[in-house]
Amino acid sequence: MHTLRVRTYDESLVKLAVMPGETYYVSYSLKLWINTVSGKLTVIDEKKGRSLVTQSKLALLISSP
């Protein structure tokens, strides 16, 4: 079991049971509310995760599995 933890004003965490050779996608969103920033981690499915990664233009997909 792995735990991903992010701290802004609040703490957000997600626990993942991972398997070798698998790819997991986690989304992190921030909300600003009255001078306070809070974040939320969410595990997302592969289709949405791959789409968000390729849209970011920070990654280049060379080959598809």
Domain ranges of the chain: 2-55
The residue with tokens 């981690």 is 41
Residues 6+ apart with CB under 8 A from 5: 11, 12, 13
pLDDT at position 55 is 82
Does position 46 have pLDDT exceeding 60, yes or no?
yes
* Cα within 13 Å of Cα(4), Cβ side: 14
**Euclidean distance between the first and the last CA atom of the chain, given in angstroms as a whole number:** 25
Q: Comparing C-alpha atoms, which of 37, 64, 36 is closest to residue 50?
A: 64
Q: What is the pTM of this model?
A: 0.68
